[in-house]
Structure 1
Amino acid sequence: MKMYGLIGYPLSHSFSKGFFKEKFERENITGCQYENFPIPGISEFTHLLEQHPQINGLNVTIPYKEAVMPFLDELSKAAAQIGAVNCIDFKDGKKTGYNTDVIGFTASLHPLLQPHHTHALVLGTGGAAKAIMYALEQLGITYTVVSRSPVNGAISYDALDEAVMAAHTIIVNTTPLGMYPKVDTFPEIPYQYVTSRHLLYDLVYNPATTAFLEKGAGQGAVIKNGHEMLILQAEASWEIWNGRAFSH
């Protein structure tokens, strides 16, 4: 039995396990199982692998996309540049880290892009944000990072005036604000300056329409949640685990 799984903490509302269970059934994939491994500290990663030597591949979610990297033997070029891993492949005694978030985000954003979508605001600074920044660079879109505690070139939410909002017509939420069960929370951007020229993208997918997206839609913006990105990154992980490698 080949085992795959997801590490993170907590994992009470994980997308991956249900996705792979359905995939295995739909595509008649036998001899495989996918499990959640909620480890309260990354130090337990080694113990997890000792307990389950049959693991062939793992996905990685909050809060370990960066913390897991020192435990790996190799990184793909993109994962090394991004500085975050969400997929680990186990082959020939080596653990190799990849980033399939960048594949999923790029493929789901690209069809929505218009000629005026040249500058983006990236809300948040975590591992997911790093993949988004890398993807935007690959797409030739410049970005400004927005953070509650601005460092390393990021700006604060207070700096988002009408001119900044008008100049940045893509806004990507990489924070967990608005995620179930805290559905009433949202990034504190000045939504009154959002227009129909804006594209709001939320990595959160539960609920399908977060408060962030709802407020954007109310201003006429195009909105997109993270569900398709999740499906695409999961499929890319499966491709990697089965030997159809990506540079990411």
Structure 2
Amino acid sequence: MEVNQKNDYKYLFGLVGKNINYSFSRGYFKTKFENEHLTNCFYTNFDIPSIEEFPKLIKQHPNIKGFNVTIPYKESIIPYLDTLDDTAKSIGAVNTIEVKDSKLIGHNTDYYGFMKSLEPNLNKNHTKALILGTGGAAKAVAYVMRLLKIDYNLVSRTSKPHQLTYNNLNTEILDKYHLIINTTPLGTFPEISNKPDIPYNLLTEKHLLFDLIYNPEKTTFLTLGEEKGASIANGSKMLVLQAEKAWEIWKQNLNL
């Protein structure tokens, strides 16, 4: 669809990211708009090579009413926004942008989707968590850990203060940390054989593995955990919940 055709719609929404043909959001909102007969709404992908391209989208699409934001721009997009709500400010990452009175307002609905999809899976022994990755999604997950009063450590490939590396993960650590959350893109379709470099042989039935990835439904990370008796969950429910929360934010400014 060409730019001028997108601008034929009264209300335009889109996903900002890089290499996002695989994304859930466009298909989800297309179906939602069709089912709810919202013929004046359209959702598209804004696949940009660098975040410096973002301001052009605003100029090119005067009917834009909201954005979702995905990898790798959840943090780098913040300087381009007029303000953040309190939650996004606390998290330090944005996945939803509201366009209101020509102002760009950053929100984070990832934390809500993650929290509501995680809570039903938690047991009493899930008091300590390892968060694999340190990007924008990891920041939303860490925020949820603080809300739920679950102690956590970030795990990165490189050594940094107050973080673990994958090489640090041993029997002593895995005996204490029974909740392991993958926020990295490792294992996403089509590179489904990739996985975080954790010691899968140390996993037990006490562990819960949560993967924010939703495509494939069961990543190698989850498969290997399940083989050791661990409970597993993927990011599909989280995606729906964060998308619906974003829609709640956007539709306040619409005359539907």
Name the TM tier (shorter chain).
over 0.9
Structure-2 residue corresponding to 1:194: 203
**Alignment partner of 2:164: what SS?**
coil
Aligned pair partner of 2:75 in 66, 69, 92: 66
Which stretches of structure 1, 4 residues or more, deviate above 3 A after TM superposition? none
For the aligned residue pairs, the C-alpha RMSD in angstroms reads: 0.9
What residue ranges of structure 1 are gaps of 5+ in the alignment? none
Between the aligned partners of 2:247 and 2:157, the Cα distance in structure 1 is 35
Deviation at 1:27, TM superposition (A): 2.1
Q: TM-score, length-normalised on structure 2?
A: 0.94
Residue 77 (structure 1) aligns with? 86
Shift of 1:226: 0.6
Quote how far apart the aligned CAs of 1:152 are: 3.0
- Tell me what 1:143 maps to: 152
Q: By how many angstroms is 1:41 displaced?
A: 1.1
Give the match for residue 119 of structure 2: 110
Match of 2:183 in 1: 174
Q: 1:183 aligns with which of 185, 192, 209?
A: 192
Q: Using the alignment, how far apart are the partners of 1:204 and 1:237 within structure 2?
A: 19
Q: Give SS of 1:146's match.
A: strand
Partner of 1:34: 43
Identify the match of residue 66 of structure 2 among 52, 57, 81: 57
Q: Give the counterpart of 1:206 among 210, 215, 219.
A: 215
- State the secondary structure of the residue aligned to 1:56: strand
Shift of 1:133: 0.3
Look up the match of 2:3.
none
How far did residue 81 of structure 1 move? 1.2
Which amino acid in structure 1 is aligned with residue 223 of structure 2?
E
Candidates 131, 134, 139, aligned match of 1:130:
139
Which of 126, 144, 155 does residue 164 from structure 2 map onto? 155
1:243 CA drift (Å): 2.0
Equivalents in 2 of 1:197, 1:138: separation in Å?
Answer: 22
**Counterparts of 2:57 and 2:34, CA distance in 1:** 26
Aligned partners of 1:115, 1:30: CA distance in 2, in Å? 47
1:154-197 per-residue CA deviation (whole Å, 9 max, x = no partner) reads 11111111110010010000011111111111111111111111
| CA distance, structure 1, for counterparts of residue 24 and residue 83 of structure 2 | 26
Distance 2:11 2:38 in 1: 11
Q: What is the CA-CA distance between 1:112 and the residue it aligns to?
A: 0.7
Q: Name the SS of the counterpart of 1:34 in structure 2.
A: strand
Partner Cα distance (2:200, 2:185) in 1 = 18
Residues 190-234 of structure 1 show CA distances to partners (whole Å, capped at 9, x for unaligned) of: 111111111000011111000000000001111001111011100
SS in 2 for 1:88: strand
Residue type at the aligned position of 1:228: K
- CA deviations on 1:86-131 (whole Å, 9 max, x unpaired) are 0000011211000000000000000111111100000010111000
For structure 2, list consecutive stretches of 5 or more residues without a partner in the other structure. 1-9
Please give the alpha-carbon distance, in whole angstroms, between the structure 2 residues aligned to 1:197 and 1:243: 43
Quote the Cα distance in structure 1 between the aligned partners of 2:203 and 2:37: 46
Provide the C-alpha distance between the structure 1 equivalents of 2:19 and 2:191, rounded to a whole number of angstroms.
15
In structure 1, distance between residues paired with 2:57 and 2:29:
20
Give the letter for the 1:49 counterpart: I
Report the equivalent of 1:94: 103
Counterpart of 1:21? 30
